[in-house]
């Protein structure tokens, strides 16, 4: 195994947002005695995790999940704010807070559920210590992911950022110390896995790493971990229903030993549960 793990400090960051898509329902009929909760999610991994909970755990807890899957990152929050959903699962809290600020909504993070970790990958070196002076490192070129990438490199001890660095105004000039004189190449996020043959290392988003077949244990030399991480995906609700007993029941099921085991076995490190269950 050639991986170092670390925690990323809290910082405001957004997912890259593309086109909106309509929801699709993924649920079985409720039993007569089950309380129904309408949950919005992106298909992977949130939809898969919720489907496991619905199929294996919900009935015994007196809960029925009506799962609506979305193909973008804006519609699930809009639907939640408008009351079409009871909760959603797909985003980290910084994204949720930024959505609130931009849309005048009052969505809240109820519980951290799982982390899709950002990682530093390499086809050329096995550990961080193997990176040589002047090594070329590719970073995602969109501000959101580049900011998160710099935080990852700082936590890994590769760079030091200026005090008070702000996501809204940062640049590579905010790197105050770069002991290895690393040469940074800014690349479109989707192209980063392909860049691994051309650079010494690249920071790759979780979804693109999975699509490219990168092995989270074998190919990563630096990987986020859950503790202290602002980017753990959360179950979100509205402020007026966050204390709903049905929501509390869903939290219990999503953080149960059974669900933790499902995440660990299903994703083999590419998705990390936020709790030990």
- Alpha carbon 132 to its chain's center: 30
- The answer to whether residue 137 scores a pLDDT higher than 90 is yes
**For residues 26 and 112, is the Cβ–Cβ distance under 8 A?**
no
Q: What integer pLDDT is reported at residue 228 of this predicted model?
A: 86
Choose between 37 and 1: higher pLDDT: 37
Q: How many DSSP H helices and E strands does the chain contain?
A: 8, 15
Under the banding of pLDDT at 50, 70 and 90, the label for residue 142 is confident
Under the banding of pLDDT at 50, 70 and 90, the label for residue 7 is very low
- The answer to whether residue 13 scores a pLDDT higher than 80 is no
Could you report the per-residue pLDDT of 168-216, keeping only the tens digit for each? Answer: 789 999 999 999 999 999 999 889 999 999 999 999 988 888 889 898 8
Residues contacting 10, CB < 8 A, separation 6+: 94, 228, 230
What is the distance in angstroms between the CA of the first residue and the CA of the last residue of the chain? 25
d(CA 34, CA 240): 22
**Chain length of the chain:** 277
Q: What is the mean predicted confidence (pLDDT) over 44-58?
A: 96
**For residues 235 and 19, is the Cβ–Cβ distance under 8 A?**
no
Q: What integer pLDDT is reported at residue 4 of this predicted model?
A: 52
Under the banding of pLDDT at 50, 70 and 90, the label for residue 23 is low
pTM: 0.79
- The answer to whether residue 110 scores a pLDDT higher than 80 is yes
Q: What integer pLDDT is reported at residue 41 of this predicted model?
A: 96
Exposed e or buried b per residue across 108-117, where buried means at least 16 C-beta atoms within 10 angstroms of its C-beta? bbbbbbbbbb
């Amino acid at each position: 195994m050639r991986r170092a793990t670390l925690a990323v400090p809290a910082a405001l960051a957004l997912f890259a947002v593309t086109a909106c898509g309509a929801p699709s329902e993924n649920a079985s009929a409720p039993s007569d005695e089950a309380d129904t909760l309408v949950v919005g999610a992106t298909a992977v991994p949130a939809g898969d995790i919720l489907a496991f909970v619905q199929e294996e755990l919900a009935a015994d807890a007196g809960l029925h999940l009506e799962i609506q899957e979305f193909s973008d990152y804006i519609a699930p929050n809009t639907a939640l704010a408008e009351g079409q959903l009871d909760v959603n699962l797909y985003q980290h809290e910084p994204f949720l807070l930024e959505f609130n600020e931009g849309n005048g909504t009052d969505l809240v993070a109820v519980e951290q559920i799982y982390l899709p970790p950002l990682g530093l990958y390499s086809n050329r070196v096995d550990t961080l210590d193997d990176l040589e002076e002047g090594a070329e490192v590719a970073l995602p070129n969109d501000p959101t992911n580049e900011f998160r990438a710099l935080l990852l490199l700082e936590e890994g001890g590769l760079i030091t950022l200026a005090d008070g660095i702000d996501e809204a105004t940062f640049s590579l000039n905010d790197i105050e110390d770069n002991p290895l004189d690393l040469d940074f190449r800014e690349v479109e996020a989707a192209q980063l896995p392909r860049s691994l043959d051309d650079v010494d290392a690249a920071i790759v988003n979780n979804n693109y790493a999975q699509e490219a077949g990168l092995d989270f244990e074998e190919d990563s030399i630096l990987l986020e971990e859950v503790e202290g991480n602002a980017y753990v995906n959360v179950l979100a609700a509205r402020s007026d229903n966050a204390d709903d007993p049905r929501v509390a029941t869903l939290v219990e099921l999503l953080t149960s030993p059974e669900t933790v085991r499902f995440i660990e076995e299903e994703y083999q490190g590419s998705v990390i549960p936020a709790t030990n269950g």
